[in-house]
């Protein structure tokens, strides 16, 4: 039997957010069918999928019904219970495999894996009590950042500690049985590498993408990053080694802090397409979503060439505070592309969409995408 899952086949997506939506768009474009599974309905993924299964992840009978109707399963959200993945994997291959999810869905396990494998990580200590936090603060010093080990993203479940006197309050704030204390890194910039690995081990990447965060949430990404070529090369090398070491089939993003001396430290891994790679949808020969599709279907991976320098700006729910944004004003920028995820309610901090700008230089792309975003608030 050919290991290739051909167009016409049905792909299952666990999770139903914007990453699944963009994956489904890429998959449908290539003639695949898409089923999505999550506890919600009328979801960003469900709106463009052929079929939307709505059930709790813990409903393993529903998971099996979903898995029985697809040829391969991937996920767009890593906080899926392992039992769900195992139940699904008994009926269809899950790519990347459950071991990738197991390692990356818990900050502590991820950091232990990375440091034991010799990858450069932010100095960290496991913390399971106020006593352990006090001891860890003595060892790592302040400032430091206390983060929950599980279920954290976009700065949720983390608190900065500027002095040991704040330990008790911080421990109360994270309110979790298992946390990780990290040294606070005074970085020059943040970069990420989105890379894909095929069923046969072939690997491709999108080089270093530079990321700016606001309130711990990704704000603007730009490609190529403004780091020295040697820094970008090392980031890519590390990312490839992480994919190999974790035996990833699919897409994985490695987020780095770049220190002022050029040293790279891994902040975290995401075993799926990443927000910083959204610009690949408009700016690269093959998007990160098509790459995920090709990898999990056993197809050869596509070229990752960046057609033009590009920047992406997230559109958070805050933009809706005074009513619907002025979409026409952003569309007046002819080199800016608008992506909206079809979410019904715009809460502050919620990712509702993004803009991508293509330009002659990375700086120009950043200026353009910021100007287009500002224009959304004009003349309403
Ligand atoms: P995270 O959700 O852990 O990726 O954190 C979101 C953002 O918070 C990062 O991209 C950084 O901008 C900032 N941050 C998180 N951890 C640290 C740290 N140890 N040192 C400095 N900044 C951090």
**Per-residue confidence at 151, pLDDT binned at 50, 70, 90?**
confident
Location of each CATH 3.30.1490.20 domain in the chain: 123-183
CATH superfamily for domain 187-375: ATP-grasp fold, B domain (3.30.470.20)
**Range(s) for CATH 3.40.50.20 in the chain?**
10-94
Q: Are 278 and 220 in contact (CB under 8 A)?
A: no
| Single pTM value for the model | 0.96
CB 316 within 8 A of CB 154: no
| Confidence bin at 1 (pLDDT 50/70/90) | very low
| 32-58 per-position pLDDT tens digit | 999 999 999 999 999 999 999 999 999
Q: What percent of the chain has pLDDT over 70?
A: 98
Gap from CA of 108 to ligand 1 centroid (Å):
15
Q: Which of 52, 21, 22, 15 is nearest to 35 (CA)?
A: 52
| pLDDT for res 3 | 85
- CATH architecture of the region 10-94: 3-Layer(aba) Sandwich (3.40)
pLDDT in tens, 156-214: 689 999 999 999 999 999 989 999 999 999 999 999 999 999 999 999 999 999 999 99
Regarding the beta carbon of 290 and ligand 1, being less than 6 Å apart is answered no
Domain over 123-183 is classified CATH 3.40.50.300: no
Q: How far apart are CA 93 and CA 144, in angstroms?
A: 40
Cβ–ligand 1 distance for 347 under 6 Å, the answer: no
Are 257 and 245 contacting, i.e. CB atoms less than 8 angstroms apart?
A: no
CB of residue 259 inside a 6 A radius of ligand 1: no
280 pLDDT tier (thresholds 50, 70, 90): very high
| Cα atoms found within 13 Å of the Cα of residue 7, Cβ hemisphere only | 7
Mean pLDDT of the residues in the chain: 96
Token representation of residue 358: 């293509």
Q: What is the pLDDT of residue 155?
A: 61
Tokens of 104: 């990356």
- Average pLDDT, integer, range 209-235: 97
Give the model confidence (pLDDT) of 287-320 as tens digits: 999 999 999 999 999 999 999 999 999 999 999 9
Phi-psi sector, 151: left (phi>0), alpha (psi -120 to 50), beta: left
At 150 the pLDDT is 87
Element (H, E) at 210: strand 203-214
CA-152 nearest atom, ligand 1: 2
Alpha-carbon gap, residue 35 to 42, rounded angstroms: 13
How is residue 179 written in tokens? Answer: 């946390």
Q: Which of 78, 161, 185, 216 to mutate to test the pocket of ligand 1 (most atoms within 8 A of CB)?
A: 216
Q: What is the pLDDT of residues 135-148, one digit of tens each?
A: 999 999 999 999 99
Closest CA to 183 of 111, 104, 94: 111
List where CATH 3.30.470.20 sits in the chain.
Answer: 187-375
The pLDDT value recorded for residue 135 is 97
Percent of the chain past pLDDT 90, that is, above it, reads 95
Question: Above 60 in pLDDT, residue 230?
Answer: yes
Mutate-to-test residue for ligand 1 from 155, 174, 179, 265, highest number of ligand atoms within 8 A of CB = 155
Mutate to test the pocket of ligand 1, among 105, 136, 145, 221 (most ligand atoms within 8 A of CB): 145
CA 260 / ligand 1 centre spacing (Å)? 16
The answer, yes or no, to whether residue 2 has pLDDT greater than 60, is no
Residue nearest to atom 8 of ligand 1 (CA): 216
Looking at residue 154, what is its pLDDT? Answer: 60
């Amino acid at each position: 039997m050919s290991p290739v899952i051909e167009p016409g086949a049905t792909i299952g997506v666990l999770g139903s957010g914007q990453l699944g939506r963009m994956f489904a768009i890429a998959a449908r474009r290539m003639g695949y069918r898409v089923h999505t599974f999550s506890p919600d309905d009328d979801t960003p993924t469900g709106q463009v999928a052929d079929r939307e299964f709505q059930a709790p992840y813990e409903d393993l009978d529903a998971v099996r019904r979903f898995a029985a109707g697809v040829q391969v399963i991937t996920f767009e959200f890593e906080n899926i219970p392992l039992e769900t993945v195992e139940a699904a994997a008994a009926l269809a291959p899950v790519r990347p495999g459950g071991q990738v999810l197991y390692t990356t869905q818990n900050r502590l396990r991820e950091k232990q894996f990375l440091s034991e494998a010799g990858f450069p990580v932010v100095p960290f200590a496991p913390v399971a009590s106020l006593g352990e936090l006090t001891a860890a603060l003595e060892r790592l010093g302040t400032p430091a950042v206390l983060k929950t080990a599980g279920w954290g993203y976009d700065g949720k479940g983390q608190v900065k500690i500027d002095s040991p006197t704040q330990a008790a309050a911080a421990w109360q704030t994270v309110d979790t049985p298992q946390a990780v204390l990290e040294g606070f890194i005074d970085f020059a910039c943040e970069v990420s590498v989105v890379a894909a690995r095929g069923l046969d081990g072939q690997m491709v990447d999108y080089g270093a993408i530079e990321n700016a965060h606001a309130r711990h949430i990704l704000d603007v990404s730009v490609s190529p990053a403004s780091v020295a070529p040697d820094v970008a090369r090392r980031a890519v090398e590390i990312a490839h080694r992480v994919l190999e070491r974790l035996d990833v089939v699919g897409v994985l993003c490695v987020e780095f802090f770049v220190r002022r001396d050029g040293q790279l430290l891994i902040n975290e891994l995401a075993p799926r397409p990443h927000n910083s790679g959204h610009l690949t949808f408009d700016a690269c020969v093959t998007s990160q979503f098509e790459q995920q599709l090709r990898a999990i279907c056993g197809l050869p991976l596509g070229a990752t060439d960046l057609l033009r320098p590009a920047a992406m700006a997230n559109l958070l729910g805050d933009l809706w505070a005074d009513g619907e944004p002025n979409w026409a004003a952003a569309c007046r920028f002819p080199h800016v592309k608008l992506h909206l995820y079809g979410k019904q309610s715009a809460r502050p901090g919620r990712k509702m969409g993004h803009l991508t700008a293509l330009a002659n230089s990375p700086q120009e792309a950043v200026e353009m995408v910021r100007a287009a975003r500002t224009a959304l608030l004009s003349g309403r």
